[in-house]
Structure 1
């Protein structure tokens, strides 16, 4: 819908009402502001919630993979052949043996529930960028060293070089009963995954050391699997699951964290639906400002009609005026939204400082910082929503202006 120079000139003048029409200009400015704020809130909320889901999936998969093959009874026999089968499955990018067992750790009279994880040398090396103190390379088989989470270290008062005692209640059987197994390990590194529960409980050691501690021999309990398409992990591992019927069960990230991720998805959809009403309210403001503009310009519209302006020209003028207001608000909202996203953490810290309330509690949110993931398709959808509702709001006042009868208006002039 191309505009002629005449239509463009009139639309431009109506976008900036004269001095005698300050109220119309105020309403139009409010319309731009409401569209800007509603679009900014949509961008902010959807990006934060998308980042929350993406960050949690990344951190969960970084430590547990996208799926876990767990043996019945906690011990997987002939696991080398199962591991080879999984690695040869199309869509699988990585598969590693894993040992995981809840135990108890003590240090200087302090005891804490922990999860002992026995990892391969490759998986341990992958934690290098998560290490806060110490050297992850010091975790060698039979070296007697472990890596612990940062919050576990803080809770127990442990530093690199200290020795913690890991207690395994399922010790060896003796004529006098089962003896509790207690083994001391030097803390070689302290890491931070970014998930509160993991940083508070996990103790990582070489797999051979975990097998010795848990008296497993050469057996393992789990195989962690990473795939190229996390959303289709069930389809990728379908054939493997059938072959392991009766021996092991496969739990993917959707199953393991189903309650959390389903709640996130429901909340995400609900928030988009609710915040979209802000854009709808903003479009009503555009409608009201255009209705007042049409009433204020009724005489001018009648004169333009008598000078040869067509109904189509008037329709295009007012549609352009209202849509431009909506577009300005939408673009301003996108800019404001990205600015808020960029300064999100200082804003959260500032609000917490002023109110004295910790807004982002890692124990509740699972993550230590506010994550963000900007989805281009979501941004495009929000932009389209803002401009589309603004366009629809212009139709009634634009048709009202185009249907103005110059004879009725100018009869008594």
Structure 2
């Protein structure tokens, strides 16, 4: 809907009311600010929720892969054959043996429950970017060196160079009963995955050391694997599930974390709907400001009609005046939202200092920092939603202005 120079001149004049119309200008300014805050709230909340899901997925998958293959029972006896079968499956990019067992550890009188995790040397080195201190290259079979999660190290008070003791309650049988197995390990590295529950529990060691600790011989607990597309992991692994039926169970990341990610999906939709109502309320301000503008300009509209202005021209003038308010608020909201997302962590710290409250407790919120990841499709959807609502809010006042009868108005002037 292109405007002629005449229509655009009138529209600009109405977007900047004169001295006697300051109240209308105030309402229009409030409308712009309301749209800006609504759009910014949508951008911020949806980006944070996307970031939370993406970061949680990345951190969980980076450690546990896209799926786990576990034998019936606690041990994989013929795991080498199964590993070869998994590696031949189309769509599987990596498969690695894995041992994971809940145990307990002690250091300087402190006792913590742990998950002893046995990995291959290649998988251990994948943790290198997450190491806070120490050296993962020291984790060699038989060296009795381990790496601790950062929160576990903090709870134990252990540092690189200290020696911790890990207990296996299923130790050796003796004439006097089962004697728990205790082995001392040297802490060679401390890592931080970024998921509190994992950083609080994991002790990583080479697979041979884990087998010695658990007295499991050459068996393993499970096989982790990654695929070409994590969102299609169930479809990719369907043939493997059928091939391993009766021998092993294939569990995808979606099944392992289904309750968490389903809750995030429901919350994401609910927040979008609720925050969209804020934008809807904001565009009602545009509606009210335009209605007041039409009422204030009734005489001007009548004069314009007598000078030859068409109903279509007046319709375009008032639609443009209201739509520009919505568009300006949308652009300002996008800018405000992106600025907040860029400085989100300093802002969280600032609010924490002001209120004295811990707003981002990792033990409650899983991740150690407030995440954010903007989805271009969602950003476009938010912009389109705001602009469409702004446009619809202008139609009634614009049609009202266009239907003004100059004869009736000027008769009593």
TM-score (norm 2): 0.98
In the TM superposition, what whole-angstrom CA distance separates every residue of 1:337-361 from its partner, at most 9, and x where no partner exists? 0011111111111111111111111
Residue number in structure 1 paired with 2:210: 210
Greater shift after overlay, 237-246 or 44-53?
Answer: 237-246
Greater shift after overlay, 33-42 or 348-357?
Answer: 348-357
Q: C-alpha distance in 2, partners of 1:53/1:298?
A: 53
Q: C-alpha distance in 2, partners of 1:326/1:91?
A: 47
Residues 1:290 and 2:290 are matched in the alignment: yes
Could you tell me which runs of 5 or more consecutive residues in structure 1 were left unpaired when the two chains were aligned.
none
Greater shift after overlay, 242-251 or 361-370?
Answer: 242-251
Mapping 1:294-333, distance limit 5 Å: 294-333=294-333
Residue number in structure 2 paired with 1:110: 110
Residue number in structure 2 paired with 1:83: 83
Residue number in structure 2 paired with 1:364: 364
Greater shift after overlay, 182-191 or 83-92?
Answer: 83-92
Q: C-alpha distance in 2, partners of 1:54/1:93?
A: 21
Q: Secondary structure at the match of 1:179?
A: strand
Give how far 1:318 is off. 0.7
Aligned length, in residue pairs: 413
In the TM superposition, what whole-angstrom CA distance separates every residue of 1:253-272 from its partner, at most 9, and x where no partner exists? 11111111111111111111
In the TM superposition, what whole-angstrom CA distance separates every residue of 1:268-299 from its partner, at most 9, and x where no partner exists? 11111001000000110000000000111111
Residue number in structure 2 paired with 1:168: 168
Q: C-alpha distance in 2, partners of 1:85/1:28?
A: 67
In the TM superposition, what whole-angstrom CA distance separates every residue of 1:228-251 from its partner, at most 9, and x where no partner exists? 221211111111111111221111
Residue number in structure 2 paired with 1:383: 383
Q: C-alpha distance in 2, partners of 1:92/1:411?
A: 82
Q: Secondary structure at the match of 2:116?
A: strand
Residue number in structure 2 paired with 1:352: 352
Give how far 1:90 is off. 2.0
Mapping 1:255-294, distance limit 5 Å: 255-294=255-294
Q: Secondary structure at the match of 2:338?
A: helix
Greater shift after overlay, 327-336 or 248-257?
Answer: 248-257
Residue number in structure 1 paired with 2:228: 228
In the TM superposition, what whole-angstrom CA distance separates every residue of 1:128-180 from its partner, at most 9, and x where no partner exists? 11111110111011111000011111111111111111111111223332221
Give how far 1:315 is off. 0.6
Mapping 1:124-273, distance limit 5 Å: 124-273=124-273
Q: Secondary structure at the match of 2:218?
A: coil
Q: C-alpha distance in 1, partners of 2:373/2:84?
A: 35
Residue number in structure 2 paired with 1:20: 20
Q: Secondary structure at the match of 1:308?
A: coil
Q: C-alpha distance in 2, partners of 1:171/1:150?
A: 28
In the TM superposition, what whole-angstrom CA distance separates every residue of 1:171-223 from its partner, at most 9, and x where no partner exists? 12233322211111100101111111111110000011111111111111111
Greater shift after overlay, 392-401 or 162-171?
Answer: 162-171
Give how far 1:93 is off. 2.1
Q: Secondary structure at the match of 1:172?
A: strand
RMSD: 0.9
In the TM superposition, what whole-angstrom CA distance separates every residue of 1:27-67 from its partner, at most 9, and x where no partner exists? 00000000000000000000001100000001110111111
Residue number in structure 1 paired with 2:58: 58
Q: C-alpha distance in 2, partners of 1:294/1:91?
A: 63
